[in-house]
Structure 1
Amino acid sequence: MPDAADATILHLTERALWDASRARGVYEMSTRGRTLQEEGFVHCSTAAQLPGVAEAFYAGLDDLVVLVVDPALLDAEVRYEGGFPHVYGPIPVNAVVEVRAWPGE
């Protein structure tokens, strides 16, 4: 479990997927090429884990964004499994408190 310094969790995604989700009001992708429905949860990470996730799953993709998610604003359960935060339901767009370009500018 994270300490108070890790109050938010992060999710890396393609900007186009995030933009489409904003129009629907919820984000429902799990990871690259897999939906929440297919995977059962949304893969997230901590700040320390994010570079490894980017390298392992998003290498070669441009126009990525990091969704900064406040777990307190989620209706879904967040479970830490294998050290990674997993969100067991859709992420409402209002739970995304910041969107950052990846890699950082």
Structure 2
Amino acid sequence: MSTANLIVHLTERSLWEEARARGTYEISTRGRTLQEEGFIHCSTREQLPGTAARFFAGVPDLVVLVIDPARLDVPLKYEAPAPGAEEFPHVYGPIPVDAVVDVEPWG
């Protein structure tokens, strides 16, 4: 498995623990579900600090889900939030817990 292809998703530890029990992860971003947003927001390693600062400032007990796109059974698309903006990986469906190859503490 090449680490260059891995994507990451920042979340609260409690939400990840609930997903592990359920078998799939379905939170798009802080305060928004996959059902509400239509996809799960992810990042590259390089994008993660900016994502953390913008959406998770002051949130305790965060973890980084390290996701292997080869283990996803739903579409992954790199898309920009606005024309000309940086592209981010978006997962169009639930993330199976076995696609998460590592969980790292953040901060």
TM range (shorter): over 0.9
The CA distance in 2 between the partners of 1:84 and 1:7, in whole Å, is 13
Aligned to 1:98: 102
SS at match of 1:89: coil
TM-score normalised by L of structure 1 = 0.93
Measured after TM superposition, the shift of residue 6 of structure 1 is 2.4
Measured after TM superposition, the shift of residue 13 of structure 1 is 0.1
TM-score normalised by L of structure 2 = 0.91
SS at match of 2:14: helix
Q: Which runs of 5+ in 1 are unaligned?
A: none
The CA distance in 1 between the partners of 2:47 and 2:41, in whole Å, is 12
8 A contact 1:6–1:46 mirrored in 2? no
Measured after TM superposition, the shift of residue 68 of structure 1 is 0.2
The CA distance in 2 between the partners of 1:87 and 1:11, in whole Å, is 10
Letter in 1 for 2:106: W
Measured after TM superposition, the shift of residue 33 of structure 1 is 0.2
Asked if 1:87 corresponds to 2:85, the answer is no
The CA distance in 2 between the partners of 1:6 and 1:46, in whole Å, is 9
Letter in 2 for 1:98: D
* From 17, 22, 25, the counterpart of 2:23: 25
Q: How does 1:1-105 map to 2 (within 5 A)?
A: 6-82=4-80, 83-103=87-107
Measured after TM superposition, the shift of residue 57 of structure 1 is 0.1
Q: Which runs of 5+ in 2 are unaligned?
A: 81-86
Aligned residue pairs total: 100
SS at match of 1:66: strand
Could you tell me the percent identity over the aligned residues?
66
The CA distance in 2 between the partners of 1:92 and 1:27, in whole Å, is 6
- Where does structure 1 differ by over 3 angstroms across 4 or more consecutive aligned residues? none
